[in-house]
Amino acid sequence: MLRDHLDASLVPLPLALAVARLGCVAAGCCHGTPTRLPWSVGAFDVHPVALYEIAGLLAVAAGVERTRSPARSGLALAGVGTVRILVEPFRAPASLGPPLLPGTWIASLWVIVGVSAASVLRRPWVPSSDAR
């Protein structure tokens, strides 16, 4: 039962976040650090961080969708955290100052929880003989 709820909420998460990042592309927010790469965007030639994140999240969504493992929800959460950790170095500092918790800390927590959940969920649930 819990596995069904986790699958219903966490498996679509990478795709939902990718769609949300389309809003970042349209609004021009979530700037990246300056770069001279040919795919830089904007007047200031910055990394297209939202596009990087969309690409990573779509890859995670495709990978999670292809697997039929009972640990899919944990893999989805760990994948979202991994994408965020990989993209974070290219993200420009926030204009309002540094956040209370850096994004990589939160994303690291997602990876830890996701991997832990995946390891627990991949095992079949067997009720204990002590339960009454």
Torsion angle in degrees (nearest 10) through CA of 6, 58, 53, 40: -170
Closest CA to 48 of 27, 22, 30, 26: 30
Is residue 129, in this structure, part of any structural domain at all?
A: no
Q: Is residue 49 part of a domain?
A: yes
Least Cα distance to 85 among 60, 106, 61 occurs for 106
Per-residue pLDDT tens over the stretch 4-57:
888 888 889 999 999 999 998 888 888 899 999 998 888 789 999 999 999 999
User: pTM for the whole thing?
Assistant: 0.84
Q: What is the extent of the structural domain holding 57?
A: 2-121
In a domain, 109, yes or no: yes
In a domain, 32, yes or no: yes
Residue 11 domain flag = yes
Rg for the chain (alpha carbons), in Å?
Answer: 18
* Residue 102 included in any domain: yes
Domain count, the chain: 1
- Reported as a single tens digit per residue, the pLDDT across 44-93 is 899 999 999 999 999 999 999 998 888 889 999 999 999 999 999 898 87
- 75 in Cβ contact with 67 (< 8 Å): yes
